[in-house]
Amino acid sequence: MKKLLTRLNNSYHLFYITIVLVAGIGLIFLIFPGESRFKYEFQKGSPWRHETLIAPFNFAILKTESEIKLETDSVLKTYKPYFTFDSIIGPAKSKEFALAISKFIETDERIKTPERFERLPAILEQIYKTGILQQSTDSYKELAGKSEIMLIKGNKALKKPIIDLFSIKSAYSQLNDTIRILTDRYYPDFMKAINLSDFVTENLYYDEQHNRNEKNHLLEKLSTTKGMVQAGERIIFQGDLVGQEKYMILESLKNTYEKKRGDNIEYFLVIAGRMLIISIFISMMFLYLLFYRRDIFDHKRKFTFIFMMIVLMVFIAGFAVNVKALNIYMVPMAILPILIRIFFDSRTAIFSLMITTLLIGYFAPNSYEYIILQMIAGVIAVFSLNKLHKRSHIVFSALWVFITYTIVYLAMALVQEGSLDTINWVAIEWFGVSSIFIFISYPLIYIFEKIFGFVSDVTLIELSDTNQPLLRKLAEEAPGTFQHSIQIANLAEAVIHRIGGNPFLVRAGALYHDIGKTFDPEFFIENQAVGMNPHDQIDHLKSSAIIIDHVTNGVKLARKYGLPEILISFITTHHGTTQTDYFYKMYQIENPKENVDPKTFTYPGPLPQNKETAVLMLIDGIEAATRSLKEKSVENIREMIEKMVEQKIKSNQLINADLTFREISILKATLLEKLVNIYHVRIEYPK
């Protein structure tokens, strides 16, 4: 039955792996561009390393970005902005002004020559006919460097010198000066009677939509090409240097080639080839995990996370390529190796980076440059973030990535361009954006920990804080156990530092391994007062059950407080499948005729599954046994360490842990050194 369940589990895992791989290949296939891939790689300033190239078909030569920009700037420089003329406001305001003047004349009997006043509405209307802007012409960025505008009157657009136009302020000033001259001594009374600003307002409006349409229309007329290459024409000899002119011809050929779809058979072959390339790269990742990281391969969540990250990065890069406002170098590729390094190891991080970069390099512009930049920057990111214990480590990693991007890019650009003047400095800004995006990895660590059940060193450090609620509970309710746990944590951390492993994991595991003792703390010797032992009041069977239950109670408490499974494994494995020997033997002595089941006095297990849990098991037993020694001499401590380790090995408690005999020897030596110091044992020197 056990074999059948194992086979079913293996079959299910294989099925799951297959689904993940097929889904990954399918999603990446959908992201990949549909056009054919140009087979030649070339760099500006480098020799043409392929055979002599002959044009396979007619194609137009594309203009450079600088040429297109120059022509665009030239068109926009000569462009005359359009303003809409409101022909209703002028006559209406002039009429209102005339009525106001008439009322003023009627109320002032001194005025003998009203004709001079009656000329003012016509002057105002003339100002309106010229055109009034809301602000001065200098305030309009659309008019910068312009001498004329296009004035839209009805269905016609007429040229108008900008210098002739009024602003509301200048129109008011012009009208005011005219009134001063014509009204003479009546000017002060006239200005008091009439609020001149009520009659001066704008009648020219910048037409945003019309100007946008006109600009687009003019720019659409610009050609993006500058000549043709005929089929059969020689493009470049093998060994020739790819200069600016040849580079643009090759880019034009590449652009045209990748847009040509061909017939159905050719298109089908392109699809088949693309699918094969993706499958090969994904299979490489699959084989790496199968042969070199079997622990990830056998763990569904870990396996899924790796391939999810690869697909996600390919998707983001594909999105950046297809959106003109973005650049592929803005995509923070370094996040991929950083996250995989934090949750797994450097080798897996770099291999994942290589696979992902090669996949993206298939459709990335200047793929050779892209692959080189991302690989070097990604490797530097992994090495610069060897450990993540503080937030500042992410900052330094992002800084190193930016510096690496910049140096490698400038080096490659100097090889291609041969001059600093022609380098695209905007790329440095893209690298800066990409490096800033690396900060996203910090909150992503927390998110992925919750989704996939991972535990990072940052989380382990946080959980090792003795102010954590569960550790405070242990300190208050079982102070002896709390001190024992701290002692174990210090010893285990020292050992792991020497034999290799995760010191943050073993420390956190050691601090929480005995939290189940908070249920009945007085039944554990480290919490008992001198001369008081509650086990004397109950039978040995019940005593054994209470001792064993600290494991199961610890698991319940850990889950209640949301401890990660990897720390719960320290609780379940720190006694493995050993027995409560004292109570078992005492029960046998007191009940000689009873057939005692050893399982009743045996911890449920499981056995330690890794180096850290195995180290904790050994140290937990050794530390407790050493504490019980009446005479704590160096020799007695050494004998106790040897005895306890030998006992665990003989009872097969370490068969599933990846501990070597060399590491066990280092463990014994380290414990002897530390315990001798803890108990202040004096070493006797020969006389």
Helix axes 391-417, 367-384, angle to 10 degrees: 150
Report the alpha-carbon distance of residue 374 to residue 202 in Å, rounded: 57
Task: State which amino acid sits at residue 357.
Answer: T
**Angle (nearest 5°) at CA 596 between 591 and 600:** 120
519 or 9, higher pLDDT: 519
pLDDT at 519: 92
Q: Where are the alpha helices (DSSP H) in 385-536?
A: 391-417, 426-437, 441-452, 457-463, 469-477, 479-499, 503-512
Q: Are residues 160 and 29 in the same domain?
A: no
pTM higher than the cut 0.85:
no
pLDDT at 240: 82
- How many separate domains does the chain show? 3
SS3 181: helix
Does 229 map to a domain?
A: no
pLDDT at 149: 85
Q: Are residues 519 and 654 in the same domain?
A: yes
Answer yes or no: are the C-beta atoms of 233 and 54 closer than 8 Å: yes
332 or 322, higher pLDDT: 332
Residue with the two structure tokens 């170098």: 329
Does 45 map to a domain?
A: no
Q: Which of these, 393, 404, 392, 386, lies nearest to 341 by C-alpha position?
A: 386
Q: How confident is the model at residue 556 (pLDDT cuts 50, 70, 90)?
A: very high
pLDDT above 60 (res 263): no
User: Of 436, 452, 468, which residue is a domain's last?
Assistant: 452
pLDDT at 304: 95
Report the alpha-carbon distance of residue 282 to residue 28 in Å, rounded: 10
Does 252 map to a domain?
A: no
Report the alpha-carbon distance of residue 642 to residue 440 in Å, rounded: 49
Q: Are residues 14 and 128 in the same domain?
A: no
Phi, psi angles (nearest 5°) of residue 241? -75, 135
Mean pLDDT of the chain: 86
pLDDT at 246: 84
For the stretch 207-217, pLDDT in tens is 888 888 888 88
Q: How confident is the model at residue 341 (pLDDT cuts 50, 70, 90)?
A: very high
Averaged over 349-363, what is the pLDDT?
94
Q: How confident is the model at residue 515 (pLDDT cuts 50, 70, 90)?
A: very high
Answer yes or no: are the C-beta atoms of 404 and 329 closer than 8 Å: no
**Angle (nearest 5°) at CA 205 between 201 and 210:** 170
Highest mean pLDDT among 62-66, 177-181, 330-334, 425-429: 330-334
Averaged over 475-502, what is the pLDDT?
94
Answer yes or no: are the C-beta atoms of 135 and 167 closer than 8 Å: yes
Answer yes or no: are the C-beta atoms of 94 and 125 closer than 8 Å: yes
**Angle (nearest 5°) at CA 518 between 516 and 520:** 95
Q: How confident is the model at residue 531 (pLDDT cuts 50, 70, 90)?
A: low
Report the alpha-carbon distance of residue 670 to residue 499 in Å, rounded: 10
Q: Are residues 427 and 487 in the same domain?
A: no
For the stretch 479-488, pLDDT in tens is 999 999 999 9
For the stretch 6-36, pLDDT in tens is 666 677 888 899 999 999 999 998 887 665 5
For the stretch 116-164, pLDDT in tens is 777 888 888 888 888 888 777 676 777 777 788 888 887 888 888 888 8
Share of the chain above pLDDT 90, in %: 40
SS3 228: strand
Q: Which of these, 320, 82, 104, lies nearest to 199 by C-alpha position?
A: 104
For the stretch 640-661, pLDDT in tens is 999 999 999 999 999 999 899 9
pLDDT at 6: 61
Report the alpha-carbon distance of residue 278 to residue 23 in Å, rounded: 12
Report the alpha-carbon distance of residue 379 to residue 404 in Å, rounded: 10
Does 192 map to a domain?
A: yes
Answer yes or no: are the C-beta atoms of 602 and 579 closer than 8 Å: yes
Does 348 map to a domain?
A: yes
User: Of 396, 417, 452, which residue is a domain's last?
Assistant: 452
Averaged over 658-676, what is the pLDDT?
93
Q: Are residues 282 and 175 in the same domain?
A: no
pLDDT above 80 (res 469): yes
Mention every residue, 6+ apart, whose C-beta is less than 8 A from residue 466.
Answer: 472, 475, 486, 511
Q: Are residues 544 and 668 in the same domain?
A: yes
Helix axes 391-417, 426-437, angle to 10 degrees: 160
pLDDT at 261: 55
pLDDT above 80 (res 278): yes
* Structural domain span for residue 175: 74-219
Q: What is the DSSP letter of 525?
A: G
Report the alpha-carbon distance of residue 212 to residue 217 in Å, rounded: 9
Q: Are residues 488 and 628 in the same domain?
A: yes
Does 47 map to a domain?
A: no
pLDDT above 90 (res 572): yes
In this structure, the strands spanning 82-85 and 204-206 are: antiparallel
Q: Are residues 435 and 469 in the same domain?
A: no
Report the alpha-carbon distance of residue 338 to residue 388 in Å, rounded: 10
SS3 34: coil
Conformation bin of residue 384: beta by default, left when phi > 0, alpha when psi is -120 to 50: alpha
Mention every residue, 6+ apart, whose C-beta is less than 8 A from residue 8.
Answer: none
Q: Are residues 479 and 346 in the same domain?
A: no
pLDDT at 358: 95
Does 13 map to a domain?
A: yes
Q: Which of these, 435, 333, 319, 428, lies nearest to 374 by C-alpha position?
A: 333
Number of Cβ within a 10 Å radius of residue 47: 14
pLDDT above 90 (res 392): no
CA pseudo-torsion sign 474, 477, 479, 481: negative
Averaged over 325-335, what is the pLDDT?
90
Longest dimension (CA), the chain: 144
In this structure, the strands spanning 59-62 and 225-229 are: antiparallel
Phi, psi angles (nearest 5°) of residue 53? -100, 125
Report the alpha-carbon distance of residue 670 to residue 107 in Å, rounded: 113
User: Of 452, 472, 507, which residue is a domain's last?
Assistant: 452
Radius of gyration of the chain (CA): 42
Q: Which of these, 201, 560, 124, lies nearest to 552 by C-alpha position?
A: 560
Task: State which amino acid sits at residue 554.
Answer: G
Q: How confident is the model at residue 266 (pLDDT cuts 50, 70, 90)?
A: low
Burial of 23 (0-12, 13-18, 19+ CB in 10 A): middle
Q: Which of these, 593, 596, 675, lies nearest to 640 by C-alpha position?
A: 675
Task: State which amino acid sits at residue 24.
Answer: G
Q: Where are the beta strands (DSSP E) in 102-222?
A: 132-133, 148-153, 156-161, 166-167, 204-206
For the stretch 588-639, pLDDT in tens is 888 887 887 888 889 998 999 999 999 999 999 999 888 888 888 899 999 9
Q: How confident is the model at residue 564 (pLDDT cuts 50, 70, 90)?
A: very high
Residue 261 Cα distances to 220, 244, 664, angstroms: 25, 28, 65
Report the alpha-carbon distance of residue 587 to residue 580 in Å, rounded: 11
Q: Are residues 211 and 357 in the same domain?
A: no
Does 588 map to a domain?
A: yes
Q: Are residues 477 and 402 in the same domain?
A: no
pLDDT at 186: 77
pLDDT at 4: 59
Q: Which residues pair with 149 in a beta bridge?
A: 160
Q: Are residues 427 and 467 in the same domain?
A: no
For the stretch 286-308, pLDDT in tens is 999 999 999 899 999 999 999 99
Q: What is the DSSP letter of 685?
A: P
Q: Where are the alpha helices (DSSP H) in 513-580?
A: 540-560, 565-573
Q: How confident is the model at residue 511 (pLDDT cuts 50, 70, 90)?
A: very high
